[in-house]
Amino acid sequence: MSNQQNTLIDQPGLILSTNNSENWWDSDHISSPEVIHCADGTWRMWYYGRDRKFDPLVKLPSGRCGLAVSSDGVNWERIKGPLTMGAVFEPHPDPNRFDSSHVGVTSVCFQDNLYWMWYFGGNQIIENFGFDVKGIHMLPGCAISRDGINWVRLEGPFQGAFLDRGKAGEFDALFCTMPNVIRDDDNTWKTYYHTLNLETRQFFIGLAVSTDGFTWEKIGQILGPGVSGSFDENGLGTRHILKINSQYVMFYEGVNKDSYFSIGVAISDDGIKWKKQLGSEENGSVFTHAPKGSGGWDAHAVGTPCVVPMADGSFRMYYVGCDEGGNTELDCKHQIGLAISDGTNFLKWNRWEN
C-alpha cells in the first residue's frame, strides 16, 4: 500500500487529489471514481488518470487505472498495483487493439464471485481537428478479476472492443465511450455510452443490449441535449444508472452553452424511454459546480457521478470536480469529491464536509 496521506484542500466535497509522488501513475490527473461498498464493510474505488509524462497526444485525463481502499468511504489509501507506476490496468501492448493508447474505467460491479470492469480505450491512430489527437475513436471493453487488482480482458469482436462506432452520418460515428453497464434481474444486460456530434459540439447518450454480456445490439440514441438555457443544453455525457424502487435512475453529466458541467437525473420504467427530472439547483440540475470565479476546486465542472445506496436509505455520490484553470481538460485540475443526498431524496445533494 502507498503510505501517502491524502492532501486535501479545505473545500467542501474534496476527498482525493492527485498523487504527490511523480513515481505514481496518477501524479497528473485523476478521474471517474467507480466505488463499491463491499459486503465486509470496506470500500473500494477504481479510477483512471495519468502521470506527468503520459502521451500528450491523448487529450483526455485518461491513461491508466488504479485502486484505492477505505474503511469509511471518505479517507482513502492507494493500493500499489502490479503494472506501470502502481497501476492495476493500463493500455494493451498490441498496437492494433482498440485500447492501445489509453484506457479509463467507467463501471465496476461484483457478480458471480468476480469483479467486472467496463472501460473505454483509444487506439494509436492520430487525427487532426485543428490539432493532433490520438485515440479519439474510443470504444468500450470489459475485463474481469478475482481480487480487483489483477485483471484479464474479455475479447470483443472489434479489435478487442464489444461495440464499434457507428457508420458515417450515424449519431455515434465519432466514438462510443464511457460504458455504464447494468445486469437486470432476468440476466439481460444494458450498456449505456455517450458520443459527440462534431458539427454541433453536442453530446448524446446511446444504448446497446445483450442477452449474455458478450454479444451486443445497439438500440440507438436515447437521450440528447436539453432546452435552450438549461444545464444540459450542449448535451449529456458520463452517467451512472441504478435501480431505485424498481425504476431505472440515471445520474448524468450535463454541459451548458458555456461548457460548464452539472449533474442531472432522468428516470425510466424500462431503461429505454427516459424522463428528465427538474432538480433543485437554479440551473435545473440536482448538483452543480461551485460558483464561477470562486476559486473552488470544482468551480468549472462536476461530473462522472457514481451513486452508492446506503443502509439508511440515503445515497452517496462520488464525482469528479474540475477547477477553472484552463481552456482544455488537461489544463484543469481534476480531483475526486463526495456529496450526500438529503435523506432519501436523490434529487437534492450537499457536499461532504470534514
Question: pLDDT of 62-89, one tens digit each?
Answer: 999 999 999 999 999 999 999 999 999 9
Closest C-alpha to 316, from 352, 285, 289, 280:
352
Residue 31, all three cell numbers: 478521474
Cβ count near 93 (within 10 Å): 7
| Residue 205 parent element (H or E) | strand 202-210
In angstroms, the CA 131 to CA 353 distance is 41
How high is the pLDDT of residue 8?
A: 52
pLDDT along the chain (354 residues), means of 10: 45 95 95 96 97 96 98 97 98 98 97 95 95 96 98 97 96 97 92 94 96 93 95 96 96 96 97 96 96 94 97 97 86 95 97 90
β partners of residue 221 = 206
Closest C-alpha to 257, from 224, 233, 290:
233
Find all residues with CB under 8 Å of 296, minimum gap 6, and list them.
11, 289, 290, 321, 323
How high is the pLDDT of residue 295?
A: 93
How high is the pLDDT of residue 5?
A: 39
Is 78 strand, coil or helix? strand
Cβ-contact 87, 65 below 8 angstroms:
yes
β partners of residue 14 = 337
Cβ-contact 42, 110 below 8 angstroms:
no
In words, the CATH class of domain 14-351 is mainly beta
Domain ranges of the chain: 14-351
Sign of CA dihedral 60, 25, 6, 319: positive
Cβ-contact 25, 84 below 8 angstroms:
yes
How buried is residue 22: exposed, middle or buried, by Cβ count under 10 Å (0-12/13-18/19+)? Answer: exposed
- DSSP letter at 300 equals S
In angstroms, the CA 157 to CA 181 distance is 18
**Confidence (pTM):** 0.95
How high is the pLDDT of residue 331?
A: 84
Is 324 strand, coil or helix? coil
In angstroms, the CA 307 to CA 293 distance is 28
